[in-house]
Structure 1
Amino acid sequence: MKRHIVAGLLKLCAAFSAAALSAAPAAAQPKTQLLVYTAIETDAMKKMYKTAFEKSNPNIDIRWVRDSTGVITAKLLSEKANPQADVVLGVAASSMALLAQEGMLLPYEPKGFKDLNPMFSDQRRPPTWVGMDVWGAVICFNTVEAKKLGLPKPESWKDLVKPIYKGKITMPHPASSGTGYLDVTAWLQMWGEQQAWRYMDALHENIAQYVHSGSKPCKQAGSGEFPIGISFEFRAHQVLRSGAPIELIFPKEGLGWDIEASGIIKQSKNMEAAKKLVDWMSSKEANEISTNWWAIVAYPGLAKKMEGIPDNYESLLVKPNDFDWAAKNRDRILAEWSKRYNAKAEAK
C-alpha cells in the first residue's frame, strides 16, 4: 500500500515539475523594449502616455529619448544608415515630412485612422505620419513688467518691430525648436520671402536672445526675466495657469502652427510593437489624454475650452500650411536664418 502511495506521489511531483518547467520560459519572457524618439513635453510624456499605453500593452516597455524637435530631427537624420529608434512620436509634421522624403518612415494606416481629422495627418495613403494634436504660435506678455517699463501691449507680429521693444523679446531658435521653425515658415508663407526676411531683420533688432526651446520664452516672460516671449499655446496655457502675470496674445495676421505626429521607422526591429503604439496613439483614449494640454486634437469633438485660448483659435491658424515645402526647404531656410541672426543665439 505504501509503495503505491509513494509511487503516486512521485508521479504527481514529476508531472508538477514538468508543468512548471514548461511554463517557466513564458513567465520569464522579457518585455519588448520599444525605443521612442520624442519631442513631447516632459510633463505629458511619462505621466500619461507611457502609463496608459503600457497598461493596455503590458508586454511592451517604452524607452524614451526626449529632446526638442530640431535636435530629434538631426539625430534621426544622422542615424539614417543605421536607425536606432522604433517609433518617432510627438515630433513636428514639418520634420516628419522630411523623414518621409528621406524614405525613413513606414507607410502605415493605424487602426482608427478613419475616425481622425484628415487635415491633421499626412495626405498620402497609407500615411507615413499621423497627427496627434496641433500647436500654434502665441506671444506671452508679462503685464506687470510691461507696466513698469511703460510697454504697450502688442496686437500683431508687426507691432514687435517697434523700437520700444528693443531688447525685450525672446524667441525660439528655429534650428533647435519646432516652434521657432513654424514661426519662420509661417512668416515666409504669409508674406513671401522678400517681405518676411525684411520683417525678421527688423524683429532681430528687438530680440534679446534666441533660445533652444519653444517653452522657454514663455517661461521667461512668466518669471519677468524678459517681458515678451514668442512661444506656443500649450506652454502659454500652463504658465498662465501657474499664476504668472501674463496675457496671451494671438497676432491678428495669423498664427504659425505645426502638428505633433507619430510614425514608424521603416527599419524598426520591433515592428509589431511599433504598430501597436501608433495604433494606440490614434485612438480616442490617447486623444482624450491629449486634451489635457492641447486645444486642438486629431480626434474631432474631444477638445476642451482652455483658459486664455480664444474660441476662434483654429480659424487663426495660417492656411494653407505646406509641410512638404517646409521640409524640402529646411536646410536653405535655416542656413539663411543662421547667417543673419545666429549672433544672438543662446549658448548651448
Structure 2
Amino acid sequence: MTKKTRSYRGMHRSLLAGLALCTAIGIGSAQADAITVYTSYEEDEIAAFLARAKQDMPDLDINVLRLSTGDLHARILAEASNPQHDVIWGWAVTSLIDPRIGELVEAYTPEGIERIAEQFRDKDGKWFATTGYMAAFCVNNEVLKNKNLPMPTSWADLTNPVYKGEVVMPNPASSGTGYLMIASILQMMGEEKGWEYLNSLDGNIAQYIKSGSRPCNAASEGEFAIGASFALRAIKNIDEGYPITMVIPSEGAGNELEANALMAGSKNKEAAKRFLDWTVSENAVNEYYNWKEIVTVTGGEMPEKFKEAGLPEDIASVMWNMDFVWSADNRAPVLERWQKELER
C-alpha cells in the first residue's frame, strides 16, 4: 500500500472521528438542535456527507451510528420498544420494507421530493431513496498476470476451477452488498439453479467477509485475485492507484437502493425533518455524485473518473432489474439456507 493511500484513508478516518466528536459535544453551542442518525453508508461516505451537511446546517448536531446493513437491522429491531435514533439514513430498501421496521417509521414528505421519481419512493410516504449501489468485481491485474489467470467477465466465470481460492465475497448475513448479490443470482437464475450455482461458486471462495467493501480492498492489495464488491469501492480504489480492473458481471449487476426515513418515536422530529429535507437538497446531490454510482435525485453529473473506471453513463443498461419486494420477503429463508449450507 502506498504512503499516499495510507494518508488518504487516515484523513477520512480522522475527519469522521472529528465530526463524531464535534456532533457529540454540540460544537460549543448549547442551543444547537441534535439528532441521532443510524446508517449503513461507508465511513468515508459518511465523513464527506456530514462535512457538507455541517456547512449547510452548522447549528444542527448530527450524531451518527454506522453499522453494516444486517447488524443495523438487528439493532433497530432490538430497540423497537425504545428507539434510540431519530432518522434512518442511507439504509437498504430491502431492510426498510420489512413490516416490523415499517411499524417504527412514519410518513414524511421532504421538501424537494418531486425531484425523486415515484419508483424510488414508498407509496405510503414512509421512505424515499436518494442513492444506491451495485455489484462489481475488483480484479487484481498483477495477480492475474503472475498466476496466468484469465480476466473474468461474469458470475458464470467465477466457477472456473482456475480461480479456486482466489475469490472473496461479502457475507450476505451481515453485508447488504453480499445479500444483493445472492438475491440477484437467485432472481437471475431461478431458485433451484441459483442455489446450484452458489454451491458451485463456494468451491472457489477463499473467504466470506463481513464487509461489502473489504473484498475489493483485499483484492486491491493483492491478497486475492478477485473481490466481489460494489462498483464505487472499485472506482475509488482505481482512483487511488491500485492495479485493479472493475468488472460489472455481464449477466447484470445486482443492486440496492439506500433510503431515508423518519422514526415515529423521534423526540426531535423538527430537527430530524430538517435533516431529511437536506438529504434531497442540491448540495447533498452534488456530494452524492462524488461517492455513489446510483443517484435517484435529479441534478448533478457523473464524475469523469467514474466513466474512466468503466462505469457507463447509462448505468441502467448494466443493472439487473431487482425485485426488491422478493428480496425483502425472502431475506430470512435465503439467509437461513445460506448459513446452513455455505457459511464458514
State the match for 1:71 in structure 2. Answer: 71
Which whole-Å CA distance do the structure 2 matches of 1:198 and 1:208 have between them? 18
- What's the offset of the Cα at 1:329? 1.8
Report the equivalent of 2:186.
Answer: 188
CA offset digits 1:125-169 (Å, max 9, x no partner): 4x2111121210001110111111111111110110111111110
- SS of 1:198's equivalent in the other structure is helix
Q: Is the 8 A contact 1:295 1:303 kept in 2?
A: no
Answering whether residue 215 of structure 2 is matched by residue 217 of structure 1, we say: yes
Deviation at 1:330, TM superposition (A): 1.3
Residue number in structure 1 paired with 2:340? 339
Q: Offset at 1:180?
A: 0.2
1:142 aligns with 2:135: no
Find the counterpart in structure 2 of residue 9 from structure 1. none
| Contact 1:294 1:303 (8 Å CA) reproduced | no
Using a 3 Å threshold, how does the CA distance of structure 1 residues 96 and 303 change in structure 2: closer, same or farther? farther
The equivalent residue for 1:279 is 277
Q: Determine which of 277, 288, 291 is the counterpart of 2:289.
A: 291
CA drift of 1:76 comes to 0.7
Cα deviation, 1:302-347, whole Å, max 9, x if unaligned, reads 231413113343211111x22222222211111011001112xxxx
Q: Which residue of 2 aligns with 1:323?
A: 324
Tell me the residue number matched to 1:201: 199
C-alpha deviation, 1:59, in angstroms? 3.0
Once residues 99 and 91 of structure 2 are traced to their aligned partners in structure 1, the CA distance between those partners, rounded to angstroms, is: 11
1:28 deviation in Å? 7.2
Q: Which amino acid aligns with 2:301?
A: A
Count of residues paired in the alignment: 313
| Amino acid across the alignment from 2:127 | W
Q: CA deviation at 1:116?
A: 1.7
Deviations 1:195-252 (A, max 9, x none): 1101100000100000010100110111000110000011111111111110111111
Q: 1:28 to 1:144 in 2, by over 3 A?
A: closer
Shift of residue 33 of structure 1? 2.1
Tell me the distance in 2 between the aligned counterparts of 1:93 and 1:291: 20
* Equivalent residue runs for 1:1-348 within 5 Å: 29-46=30-47, 48-98=48-98, 102-122=102-122, 124-125=123-124, 127-304=125-302, 305=304, 306=306, 307-308=308-309, 309-319=311-321, 321-343=322-344
1:15 match: none
CA distance in 2, matches of 1:102, 1:334: 21
The alignment's TM-score, normalised by the length of structure 1, stands at 0.86
**Secondary structure at 1:275 match in 2:** helix
Structure 2 Cα separation of the partners of residues 75 and 300 of structure 1:
32
2:104, 2:264 within 8 Å by CA — same for their partners in 1?
yes
Counterpart residue identity of residue 337, structure 1: W
On the 8 A contact 1:100/1:128 being kept in 2, the answer is no
How much has 1:301 moved relative to structure 2? 4.1
Provide closer, same or farther for how the CA distance between residues 280 and 300 of structure 1 changes in structure 2, counting only shifts above 3 A: same
- 2:105·2:264 contact (CA, 8 Å) conserved in 1? yes
Q: State the distance in 1 between where 2:31 and 2:99 align.
A: 31
Q: Secondary structure at the match of 2:336?
A: helix
1:283 Cα deviation from its structure 2 partner: 1.5
Q: Which amino acid aligns with 2:342?
A: Y
Structure 1 residue runs without a partner (length 5+): 1-26, 344-348
Amino acid of the residue matched to residue 189 of structure 1? Q
Q: C-alpha distance in 2, partners of 1:161/1:103?
A: 42
Q: Provide the identity percentage.
A: 38
Shift of 1:191: 1.3
Task: Check 1:57–1:284 CA distance in 2 against 1; reply closer, same or farther (3 A cut).
Answer: same
- Helix, strand or coil for the counterpart of 1:342? coil
Once the 2 structures are TM-superposed, how far is the Cα of residue 113 of structure 1 from its aligned partner?
Answer: 0.4
